[in-house]
Structure 1
C-alpha cells in the first residue's frame, strides 16, 4: 500500500550538472507527496512560484519535500498533497563556487599615442573570477527566461566590453606606452570595478581580474628589444643611427635610391672620421716621442776614450792603432 501511495513520488535534483554551468532549472514537472530534494556540495536550491522566491535551501543533503521543505516555503507552507494532485513549482539549482575564466583580446586594441597617429595596436590576456551573489536579480534578469546559464555566456558578455575598458584604463594609467606591464595592477583594478558594475545587473560579482601580459606587434617588440639593448629608450635619433648602421653591416641596405645613397654617404663619412682620428692619434704619438728624444741629453763618451799619438809606455808613435807596435801596450 505504501508503494501505491508513493508511486508518483519524484526526486528533485540537479540532473544535468556541469562544472561550467552557473544554474540549472528543474521545471514543468509536478512534485508529488513523498518526493525528495537532493542538494549536493556547492549547490543551493531555490523554490520559485510564479516568478517569486518561496524559499532558499543551502545545506547539502537529502530532504523530504512535504515534511522538511514545504513548511518553510513562504506562501506554500499550508499546501496539502492530495491523492491525485501535486505541487507545481520551479526549483532553481545554483552553482555557488567561484568561476575562473581566461580571457584574451580577439583583435588588437588601438591605443591613442602621440608617437603613432593611428594608435598603438596592443593585445592583452589574463583571467577574471566571478560568482553569483544576488539570487533575486539573477532570477529577474536571467533565470526567468532561461533554463540554464553557462560560464561561456558570461565570458562572451565580459569580452565584449573589455576592448573599451582596456582602452580607457590603459590611456589613464599607462604613462609609459612601451612598459604597460609596470601599470598592469592599476589597470586591472580599474577594469574589475567597471566590470563588477555591469555584472551587478545580472546578480553576479567580479571577485578578481588580472592582466597577465600586454603584447605588441612583432615589429614594435623588436624595436623595444633593440632599443633596450643599446640603452637608448626614448632617443629616436640614436635608434635610427644604430638601425642604419646595423642594416649596412648586414647587407640589408643596398641598391639605389635616396636611402641607400644616404646610408653609403654616412658610412663613408664614418670611415673617413675614423681614419682621420687614427692618423691624428699616430701623429700625436710621434710628436710626443720626438719631444722626449730632444729633451734627453746625449750620453757623454767615457773618460780616456781618445787614443794617444805616442805610446805612454815606450814612446813609439801609435798611428791610430789600438795596441803599441813596439811594446804591445793597449792604447785605449
Structure 2
C-alpha cells in the first residue's frame, strides 16, 4: 500500500461522524442533534444510550427509529430513509436528515392540580365546589409519534413544555371521571386509591395518542370548603343517632340541670322526680327487674306512697324540640296559640311523638268537655 493510500485511509476515518447525545439535564425530553446544514457523513457512527431512542426525520416525515445500541449509518441501517431519498444503489457522503434523541426514561413525581374549584351535584347538599391535586409519572413509549405530533421542529423540548399539555388533559379527564362516578360527596376523600386507578384507565388512551404512557396517577387530596365539611360531619352524626334514645337522654339531662339550679322544695321535688325517672329508665334498659310487678309484696301501710311525679311534656315547633314544660304551661301555650291541636307532643312513657288532639289528658284543651257534677249536688 502506497503512502497516498495510507493518507486517504486515515482521512476517511477522521471524517466519519459520531452522532450521539450526552444528556446533562434532568428535564430534557427531546434533543435535536445539531450539524451544519443537517449533513451526516456516510458510515457515520450512531450511538444510542440506554434510556434513549434516536428518530430520523426527512423533510418533516418520520423515517427510521433506533433503540439503544451502536449503528453504522448506511443504506442497510436506514431502510426507510433510503426509500424516501430514492437511494437505490447506495449514496454518497454527506446526506441530510434531522436526528432527534428522545429521552425514554420514566419521569416521576410530576405535579398536577385543579387551578380553580369545579362544581359537582350532590343529592343532599346540592351543588358543591371541590379541588383536587396529586402526582403522576410518565414515559415516552412511541418516540416517532411523539416527535411528529408533539415536538415538531422544537430543537430542545423540555419536561416543562409537555407537562403544560398533560396537566390540562389530566384536569379535564379527572373532572369528567369524578362527575360520572356519582359518589356521595363525603366518600371522595376516602376513596382516592380507587379514583386514581379509574382516572388512569380513562386517561391512558388520550396519552397513547401522542406516544406517551401514563405510568402512574395519584390523587393525593380532594378538598372542599370548611362550611361543607361541617355540614357533612353533622349529617353523618345524625344519620347514626337513635332519635328516641337521644330524646330520652336530653330529657334526663334537662331534669338533672333543673334539680341543680332550682332551690327549695321545687328543686328537691324535681330532683326526686328525676331520680325516679332515671331509675325507671335504667330498669327498663338493663332488664334487671327479677320479679313481675303483680307478684311484689305489698308495702306496709305505715309507709306512705311515693310523691306523685309531675308530668312534663316536650313539644315540637318549626321542626325543633322544646321542653320539658308542665301541664299548666302547655295549656297556656295552647291558649296563646303558640301550639295547636296538631302540634306533636311527647312525654315519658309514650313510644312516639303524637298530635296533641290525640293525647287523652290534653283533649281538655280543645273545649267542649262538660265537668262532672259537684259532690252532694
TM-score by length of 2: 0.55
Distance 1:150 1:71, change over 3 A: same
Task: Find out whether 1:282 has 2:291 as its counterpart.
Answer: no
**SS of residue in 2 equivalent to 1:191:** helix
Task: Find out whether 1:47 has 2:37 as its counterpart.
Answer: no
Measured after TM superposition, the shift of residue 97 of structure 1 is 1.8
Deviation larger for 142-151 or 100-109: 142-151
Task: Find out whether 1:121 has 2:129 as its counterpart.
Answer: yes
**SS of residue in 1 equivalent to 2:214:** strand
Distance 1:280 1:15, change over 3 A: same
Q: Are the aligned partners of 1:48 and 1:55 in contact in 2 as well (CA < 8 Å)?
A: yes
Task: Find out whether 1:177 has 2:167 as its counterpart.
Answer: no
1-structure distance, mates of 2:200, 2:206:
10
**SS of residue in 1 equivalent to 2:138:** strand
The C-alpha deviation readout for 1:217-236, integer Å capped at 9, x for no partner, is: 23434555x649xx615589
2-structure distance, mates of 1:284, 1:52:
92
Structure-2 residue corresponding to 1:165? 173
Measured after TM superposition, the shift of residue 166 of structure 1 is 3.0
Measured after TM superposition, the shift of residue 23 of structure 1 is 1.9
1:265-280 correspondence runs (5 A): 274-275=257-258, 279-280=269-270
1:100-249 correspondence runs (5 A): 100=108, 101-117=110-126, 119-224=127-232, 227=234, 232=237, 234=239
Alignment gaps of 5+ in structure 1: 239-269, 297-332
Structure-2 residue corresponding to 1:319? none
TM-score by length of 1: 0.62
Indicate which of 26, 38, 47 corresponds to 1:29.
38
2-structure distance, mates of 1:284, 1:182:
44
The C-alpha deviation readout for 1:16-48, integer Å capped at 9, x for no partner, is: 553322222225421124633222221111223
Task: Find out whether 1:79 has 2:93 as its counterpart.
Answer: no
Alignment gaps of 5+ in structure 2: 1-6, 244-252, 261-266, 280-298, 305-377
**SS of residue in 2 equivalent to 1:178:** helix
1-structure distance, mates of 2:63, 2:171:
40
Q: Are the aligned partners of 2:132 and 2:222 in contact in 1 as well (CA < 8 Å)?
A: yes
The C-alpha deviation readout for 1:83-129, integer Å capped at 9, x for no partner, is: xx411111121112222222122222222224445x32211122222
2-structure distance, mates of 1:233, 1:164:
36
How many correspondences in the alignment?
253
**SS of residue in 2 equivalent to 1:158:** helix
2-structure distance, mates of 1:159, 1:41:
28
Task: Find out whether 1:11 has 2:18 as its counterpart.
Answer: yes
2-structure distance, mates of 1:163, 1:189:
15
**SS of residue in 1 equivalent to 2:186:** coil
1-structure distance, mates of 2:43, 2:171:
53
